[in-house]
Every structure is written in C-alpha cells, then in structure tokens.
A and B are shown apart, each in its own frame.
Chain A
C-alpha cells in the first residue's frame, strides 16, 4: 500500500469516527439511545437476506453514478448534474424497451444501454461545451440542467408517454426483466437485488483501471491537478474535458437499468430519489477512487435503508444529517491529516 492510500484510509477512518460521535450526540439530544438506534439499523440491514438485498440494490445505483462523477471530479470538473443526467438517460431507456417490445432481449438491452448512455452523456457534453466555449463554470450549468432536464422529462412523460393518471411509463415486457439474485439465491428472496449489481462491480473495476492505469486516466488527472501545465505539456484539455463529461454523465444512466430492468419495469418520475446528489458525497468519501466507491456506496445504502427502519425513533432526515456530516468531516480531516504528514515526513 503506498503512502497516499494510507493517508486516505486514515483520514476516512477518522471522519467516520467523528460522524459516529456526532450522530450519537444528535440522537441523545433527541432523547434516544444511539446504541439502540444503531442496532436497529444494523439489524434491519444485516439480519435478513431481504435487508441485505435491498441495501445492495440501493448501492448498485450509487456505484454507477458515483463512478461517473469520480471521472469528472478527477479532472476537477464539478459535475453537480448527475440527477438530471441520469433521469434523461433512464427515461429514454424505458421508452426504448417499451416501444421495441417485439425485438429479442439482447438487442433491446444493448440498444437501451447505448442510447441511455448517449442521452445522459449528451447532457454532460452541453455544460462541458459551454465551459470550453464561454468559460462558464460547470457547477452552475450542471445545476441548472438538473431543473431543465427534469422539467423536460416531466413534460414529455405527462403529455405523451405516461400511463393515465400516473407519473410513469408503461411497463416493459416481462421477458426483458433482468435476473434477480433471489432467482438463484433464495436467501435474498423478496429483494430487488439483480445482476445490475455485478455490472456495477465491473464498472467500478473498469473505471478504476481507466482512471489510474491508462493514458487517458493520466491525462484526466493531470488536467485536474494543473490545467495550465497540461496545456503546455501538449494535452488536448478541451477534448479531455468533453470525454470526461460524456463518460461521466453517461455512466449515470446505468442506474436507470438497475431500476427499470432490475426492479420496477418502468420509468417513474422521482424514481431516482436524489441519488445523483447522494453520489457526490459517495464519490467524495471514497476520494474519487472507484474501488473505494463500492464501499462508500454500501455505507450510504445502509444509511438510506436503515434510515427508513428507524423512522419510528428518529426522523429519517437524520440520515441526511449524517451524510452531510461525513462530507464535512472528510473535507476537514483530510486537510489536517495531509498537513500532518506533510510536516512530519518521518514515515
């Protein structure tokens, strides 16, 4: 393990401990026993195959989105638009699967993968293009595009594609549904965990290789570290920006595969329940390392799923607080730990 990884693990661990302390403090203030709350959460998640399956299902979508964001973040491109990007792609995925119901599954599935990726990717390209041409911060444009995309999807859905008096598309053919884990592992029975999870693991590994082991990854991170130097070294910074945004945004569409092909069978307004934003925290916690993202996605999935189960004792918003605290903790602890090692250098 190299030094950088060691430093990262130390600061992540410290942040998690701090978060746990603050979580305890808040629950005590609310008048609950933190140990009890924790045990309910853990029990709910880990005691049953169903709980575990649901947690992994939630983690799947987070892994897709966070890996996409990590690719952008490595190039210092602050894509805050995953929520919109993933909705655009997912909507198209559902429509294609619905309207090509007669084609064989592999064809439809591939078509959905590609077109979902492209549609989400295009909504990443637009802010990237504006940034390159007009030097407008991608933070602002991607946030704005969240609103634009959701409004557009809403319009098309309601006016053209929705099943009457619902906010969802029609169901895709039953034959198209992906294999669920419970189909071959009864342990998970009842949960929506499906083979998208395996795809997510593969995406994480591939993203890891892309970022850390390829020419493109080196270029991507170089742009993130020092854009001016990258230009002088001869990298095509604009091209790299566009590609990063396209791949990054494109990957978020896969969360739609998980939901539509793996769970509900249709696109529904609001299905994403803000994972596009949660994924920002997930990526941040993992220091944008896709392998780390697998674990931070699991952690956030546990929080989300567990949050539901302690709704009786504490408001489920407490989980949002916990997520926020993790981010703040990691940002500040990271600085401190890094400075510490900077000064010491006695390792």
Chain B
C-alpha cells in the first residue's frame, strides 16, 4: 500500500524547471529518504506534497486517492505534517503555547489546558521526547526545538511526517536520539519522508531511497538489512561530476603567531552562564576546530571575536585583524534574502561607492561559477535559492572578503557532498594562505579531517584540546582526502569519535 504516490509532477519557477515529470511512490509505514544535490528540487517536491506550492503538471495520491492541496491547511487535514529546515516557532512562547497555537482542536474561546497537557505529556512519554511543556522555546536547545516541531505534528495525529534535512542541525549524539524517535514512529505505523545529504544516515534509517537530480528522478533503491552500496548512491546523486579533491595540508606554516586571544572570558545571559572562564587562542595558519553540541557557547565565542558581543568580562585580544564569519543561522544572520547573489556580495565586499551593474554582475558571476551555485537566473533573489546554494553564496562572500581571521560556523550544513568537498578544500586553502580559521561544527568527520587543533566545548568551557600530535596519533593516515568519506571508519578514527562524543556531552574527563 502506498501512502504517497507522485505521478508526473512538474513545477516551474518562471521558465526554470525545478521538477520535471517526477513519479515515484512512498510505501506506507516506511522510512523513505530523498536525496539529491543542492537545488535538485527536494524541498520543492515536499512543499508541493505539503500544499505550500502547487504543481504545474501531474498529480499525486494519498492512500490511493487523488488529492489537490491549495494550502497546508488541506494537507494537515489529510494528516500530513512537515518539519521545515527552518523551524516555525515563536521564541517567546512556551512549548505548550507553541503547540496549541494555530491548532484546530482548540475550538471556542476557552482552552482546556489540563486536558491538552495530559495528552501532550502522553505523547512526550511515548516517544521519549524529553520536553518540558513550560520552558520557553528561546531557552531550549535546537534539538529540543526540533522536538517541539515534532510534538506539534504528533498532537495533530499526523500519519505522514515530512522532515527537510532534520539532522543538519544535530550533533551525532542527537542524531542517534532522533533516529530512535523515527523508529518509534515506524512502530506506530507512521510513514516518514526524510531529506538528507548524509549517506551514512541513509544506510542506518531508510527503507528506500529516491535520488533527484536537476528535478528528475535518477535512482531508486530498496534497502534491506542495511545493504546499500554507498559509492553507487553517491555517484547517482552527483552524476558524472563527482569531485575528488586532495589538498596538501602541510604543517610547515604552523607559526606561533597568535591573532586572537580570549582569556578567562565569562558571559551570562538572563543569569545563565554561557561562557565559563573560557580560554582560547587562534593562531595564524591553523584550523582550530570547536567541537560541541550546539548551544554550549559556540555562537558567543564567534560573536565576541567578530566584535558583535561586548557584554562579557575577561580579556579579549584582537591582534589588529579583520574577522569574517559564516554564521550558523543563514536565514536570520547570513544574508539579505531580497538581494541577488551579486548584491549580497557587493554589500560586504564592494569597494566602489557606485554600484554599477557591471560590478554587481562581476561579483555574481565569480561566485556562481566558482561555487557552482544553481539558481533559476542570475538576478534571482537569494531567498529563492535552495538552502545549500544560499550557503555557498555566504561562504564565497566571507572568503572573498580576504580577512585574516575566518570563523566558519557549521559551514557545510545543508550542503551536498560535492559542495562539501569543495568548501572543505576552500577552508584548507585559506589556512594554507596563513589565515587563522576557527571551525565550529557538530560534524565530527568535518572537524577531525580539517582541524589542526581540536577543542571540545561543553557548557561554555573548553574541556579538552587535542594538539596536532595528539590528533595525528588518532588519525589513520596523515593525508586527508576531501572526497566525501563514506567508507567505514578506520579503527583509530572510531576511537577518537567515541571519545569526542563523550566529551561533548560531559561524560568523560
């Protein structure tokens, strides 16, 4: 029995075909992964299923019935729910208020809180969501916010759950937790559709995969007993153009010149300690990795170094250098959605006072070509680009600013495998140019392969720093391959990963 069946779905933006004759089915009570390059049309297809967009051609069936959705209201009525990449929560409201907000079951003027509470607490216990209904959304971690979104769907009793890159914002430990919840969904006869760029996740969780490329279905396969050829899958995703970049990461240029120094930094917000006597130094020609679960002070470190946060005590030294930042939240902090690619880059890097169209085109062409940005046309506003492509533009803008210090916060979040390899190579290139790079991430692969030194951040404190020798002793070999690593981890790497995983949640010393 198919829960969802797409038949020849097409969608154009202007005269750009985002989806062309997409046909495939999603088995009821299964986990179905949708993969594909940035801009392949994954989110667009899911937005059509959720009623946010209407297709230009084709139709789709829910449980065998042809349906037509004019808005999410219709799809919600059919028990379809979607968790977007960008959460739709109100920060100032509590978990409970967010769940109640805009829910039909709360008819009339009076809301029966006791009843709703008990229903919600039942759901929370059943799926092990570990949420407190009364905490404010702004006070809880990203992964908990994601659980609030999940709770919203479950409260509506959704049977088909769509997740657009849910694991992009999670640390490895949290991903495991999330997959446990997914398993529980399956046991409860739900159908799960999941978009991701991480192939090893597909192997762990999916029953079937569908790969989109340039708006068309190019590959489909069932996964039985975790059996899938990831190399073949990677090939299907990127087509012929699999990037394989090997960068020479020489350690010659490791000088001891410190550009940024944080000494005994303390920072509190609303009486909660965010940074706790933090010490950190960033040197020329190195990548310093910061490993940790999101919300342990990473953003504050980045904001202090860039000069955006001044409300701290302790000693902050900037050796007279400029700092670039690729922020963690691209929608709110990273870009002007209304501006084109060229305008976004001119905004930061333009030197000329008059913005001639030649200058704007020049900025835009350079980035689009170098980073292989996929967009409908060069004058498209950045808001219309796919998530991964927006990220490429932001990275290009920050790198081409030419500053001595670069902070990358989750640089490859939501970025496909080719672009990830490319961005990694750019980061190493900057390091080799003797720039100082601070790499904040929750992706251990990324951290371990790029960092010269690696610090683990937990509750606003650096609990451990691996120096280059120590890292090398864990690494299986010293040449890093920037080809997306989809092989089984070597023994030594696994040891390191396990240790890091524990340190990140404060379980080791």
A positions within 8 Å CB-CB of B = 2, 213-219, 221-222, 225-226, 228-235, 343, 345-347
Contacts and interface: CB of A to CB of B under 8 A. Distances in A.
A231 B14 CA distance: 33
Contact of B332 (A213, A219, A221, A226): A226
B142 interface: no
Given A215-B355, A218-B355, A345-B13, A226 B336 contact: yes
A346 B10 CA distance: 13
B352 interface: yes
A343 B54 contact: yes
A213 B335 CA distance: 19
A231 B308 contact: yes
Contact of A233 (B13, B337, B347, B355): B347
Nearest to A226: B336
A222 B347 contact: yes
A341 to B, nearest CB: 11
A216 B355 CA distance: 10
A229 B355 contact: no
Going nearest first, the 5 A-B pairs with the smallest beta carbon separation are: A232-B333, A222-B336, A225-B338, A225-B336, A232-B327
Nearest to B344: A233
A229 B336 contact: yes
Contacts of A343: 54
Contacts of B350: 215, 218
Interface string B333-364: 11111110001001110101111100000000
Nearest to B403: A234
Given A232-B308, A232-B325, A213 B355 contact: yes
A233 B332 contact: no
B14 A345 contact: yes
A228 B350 CA distance: 20
A29 B311 CA distance: 62
A128 to B, nearest CB: 20
B354 A214 contact: yes
Given A214-B355, A216-B353, A231-B308, A225 B347 contact: no
A345 B14 CA distance: 6
B326 to A, nearest CB: 9
Interface in B392-442: 397
B103 to A, nearest CB: 23
Interface string B49-86: 00000101000000000000000000000000000000
B440 to A, nearest CB: 14
A324 to B, nearest CB: 29
Contacts of B352: 215
B16 to A, nearest CB: 10
B399 to A, nearest CB: 14
Given A215-B350, A218-B347, A218-B350, A229 B13 contact: no
Contact of A226 (B13, B337, B379): B337
Contacts of A232: 306, 308, 325, 327, 333-334
B390 to A, nearest CB: 12
B302 to A, nearest CB: 9
Contact of A219 (B333, B338, B347, B356): B347
B287 to A, nearest CB: 21
Contacts of A234: 306, 348
Specify which of A215, A230, A232, A235 lies most central, judged by the most chain B CB atoms within 10 Å of its CB.
Answer: A232
A229 to B, nearest CB: 5
Contacts of A235: 347
A75 to B, nearest CB: 13
Contacts of B325: 232
A343 to B, nearest CB: 7
Contact of A228 (B12, B14, B332, B356): B332
Contacts of A222: 336, 339, 347
Contacts of A221: 336, 338
Contact of A218 (B12, B343, B397): B343
25 contacts: A213-B354, A214-B353, A218-B339, A218-B343, A218-B346, A221-B338, A222-B347, A225-B337, A225-B338, A226-B332, A226-B336, A228-B333, A229-B333, A229-B335, A231-B308, A232-B306, A232-B308, A233-B334, A233-B335, A233-B336, A233-B397, A234-B348, A345-B14, A346-B12, A346-B14
Contacts of A228: 332-333
A10 to B, nearest CB: 17
A230 B348 CA distance: 9
Nearest to B355: A213
Contact of B334 (A216, A229, A345): A229
A212 to B, nearest CB: 8
A215 B325 CA distance: 21
Contacts of A345: 12-14
A173 B350 CA distance: 48
Contacts of B336: 221-222, 225-226, 229-230, 233
A248 B336 CA distance: 23
Nearest to B376: A345
B500 to A, nearest CB: 28
B308 A215 contact: no
Contacts of B56: 346
A222 B356 CA distance: 17
A320 B333 CA distance: 42
A228 B333 CA distance: 6
B299 to A, nearest CB: 11
Contacts of A213: 354-356
B14 to A, nearest CB: 7
Interface string B87-118: 00000000000000000000000000000000
A213 B356 CA distance: 7
